Amino acid sequence: MCFSVQAVTIAHTFGAVPDQLKTSGEVYVVTVRLRSAARRTAQKPSQPRLFVVDAQGKRYSQIINAGNEIGLPIDQPVTAAQLWNRKIQPGESVSRMVALDLPAGIHQPGLVISGGFFGSDDPTCGGHHSPNPSFILCRQ
């Protein structure tokens, strides 16, 4: 299982009016892709976790569903297990959009995902990256 960050956008609000999430900080809307590097068997991450850690080591674990791929309400809290709740076939990829409410001026936020492999550690995954240089994908 290989995770990668496909897109990052930063906003001060998220969601549709009148239930729009307003924050004094910034909302990072992140598209995370999970790809199966398996050759034969469908798999899903075992006990996946997803959170952000800043340069000072502070952890932010509130995840908000930002896409309609999983059949749960948008703008509602969601767990990583809910995001990747089904097995994916060998070679298949699935993407999920999440929103992360982070404080303004956060320094070096890093998205930490456990429950899969990452590009630099598994040659079948290719490189991992983030399209936003101020937001990095970490490994735990």
Q: Which residues pair with 53 in a beta bridge?
A: 59, 110
Q: Which domains does the chain have, with CATH numbers?
A: 2-139 (2.60.40)
d(C-alpha 74, C-alpha 97), whole Å: 10
Q: Supply the pLDDT for residue 77.
A: 82
Banded model confidence at residue 89, pLDDT cuts 50, 70, 90: very high
Residue-wise pLDDT for 4-58, tens only, equals 888 888 887 776 666 666 676 888 888 888 888 888 999 888 778 888 888 888 9
Long-range CB contact pairs, 5-11, < 8 A, 24+: 5/30, 5/31, 5/32, 5/33, 5/111, 5/128, 5/129, 5/130, 5/131, 5/135, 5/137, 6/31, 6/32, 6/33, 6/95, 6/131, 7/31, 7/131, 8/130, 8/131, 8/132, 8/135, 10/132
Q: Is residue 100 over pLDDT 70?
A: yes
Q: Supply the pLDDT for residue 109.
A: 86
> Residue written as tokens 């009016």?
17
Secondary structure element (H or E) that encloses residue 83, with its range: helix 80-83
Q: What percent of the chain has pLDDT over 90?
A: 5
